[in-house]
Amino acid sequence: MSMLSLSSPSTPSSSPSSVLLHPLALSSILEAFVSRPPSSARVLGCLLGRVATAPGGGRVVEVVSAYAVPSAEQGASVAIGKDYQRQMAALAGRTSGAAPVGWFATSPGGLDGACPVPESASLVHDFFAGECADEPVHLIVDTSLQGDATSARAYTATPLAVQGVALANMFTEVRVEARADEGERIFVDQCVQGNAGAGQSERRREDELLASLDGLLELLGGASGYVDKVVAGSEPADPSRGRAIADALAAVPTLQPGALKDMLSGSLQDLLMVMYLGKLTKTQLAIAEKLTATVAI
């Protein structure tokens, strides 16, 4: 997914400086797109999330989830279900702390055009500006699958006014980053692996461990290969990388060889003992079962 895009050059402090996109939001948008009524080519909806202040100033908008709002488009004008939007936002607010922070639209025509934001977006944007507490963020998701990627871009709008009369909105792009909670991350990784390794129906425990170890070895090999190359002079030294490697090495605790062995055997004994207890408990349970079964007779 091409997530990195240009950050707008001048960001006033009230408009978002970056957007963090959760997989749930993206999945909700795609789900809404898949189950849209067949007559409409685009789906509009509301983004829910939280707003935080970034350390360097500027707002960071975290988009946690999204839902579609029924809408009808005719030419340049768009009609949006206001009540639906309000009711859904109220319901969603009761289960989680997320509030409306913007709106999304799917773009069937791809995002490569010079002007991915259609004219009707201004009106919708103004509507959502009324719904959200702060300035809303507009997210466009490309569903045409024309390019190699399903990309998403975020925009924020600044009104252009002439002599105090607001004419139109100028949409400036904002950087989108991928962000996920622990559980979401694990699940997405699991899906990705399940997708790619579709041929593996059985992944045994040992295979999984081996895969992880292989990965670790490769990373270590890569790092040490890089260091070798720098020492041999075939690659220019990058101080930040060197520092990162040094930090990683420093994080390895130095232990007396005996101490590590003791720790390991201690852990092993704990595990074995717990396993024994577990099996013992299960046996007791089976006995209890049998007793309760026979007592009634």
Partner 1 sequence: MAPPASGSASRPVLEISGHALLKIISHSHEHLPSTVSGSLLGLSSGPNSVTCSSAFGVPNVSAAAANNNNNNADEQDEPQEQALDDPALLADAPEEGPAARVVQSGSAHQIQYQREMLRLLKTTNGDANVVGWYQSMFLGTFCTAELLETQLSYQLELSEGAVVLLYDPVQTVNSNKGEIVVKAFRLTKEYTDAKTSGVKTYLPPRRVFTEMEVKVTNPSIVRALLFDLDRSNPLPRSAASNPPSRGSDYGGGGAVDFERLDLSTNPYLEKNLEFLSTWVDDLSAEQSKFQMFARQLLKEEGGGSVQPVSFNKRGAQAKKVFVDKEARWAGEDAPNRLDALLSNIQIGTYCDQVNEFADRGKAKLFVVAGAQAE
- Contacts to partner 1 from residues 128-187, by CB under 8 A: 143, 145, 148-150, 178-187
Residue 127 C-beta: closest distance to partner 1, Å: 17
Where does this chain touch partner 1 (CB under 8 A) — which range of 168-176, 235-243, 246-254, 267-275? 267-275
Gap between the Cα atoms of 94 and 88, Å rounded: 10
DSSP at 75 = T
Residue 153 C-beta: closest distance to partner 1, Å: 14
Gap between the Cα atoms of 156 and 173, Å rounded: 6
Gap between the Cα atoms of 244 and 160, Å rounded: 45
**By the rule CB under 8 A, 229 interacts with partner 1:** no
Q: Do 117 and 153 contact (CB within 8 A), yes or no?
A: no
Q: Do 184 and 172 contact (CB within 8 A), yes or no?
A: no
Choose between 161 and 275: whose C-beta lies nearer to partner 1.
275
- Mask of contacts with partner 1, 83-122, x by CB under 8 A? -x--xx--x--xxxx-------------------------
**By the rule CB under 8 A, 232 interacts with partner 1:** no
Residue 210 C-beta: closest distance to partner 1, Å: 7
Of the candidates 212, 243, 244, 248, which one interacts with partner 1 according to CB under 8 A? 212
**By the rule CB under 8 A, 205 interacts with partner 1:** yes
Query: Within 13 Å and on the Cβ side, how many CA atoms surround 180?
Result: 14
Query: Within 13 Å and on the Cβ side, how many CA atoms surround 196?
Result: 5
**By the rule CB under 8 A, 222 interacts with partner 1:** yes
Burial 33-51 (b: 16+ CB within 10 A, else e): beebeeeeebbbbbbbbeb
- Mask of contacts with partner 1, 16-55, x by CB under 8 A? ------xxx-xxx-xx-xxxxx------------------
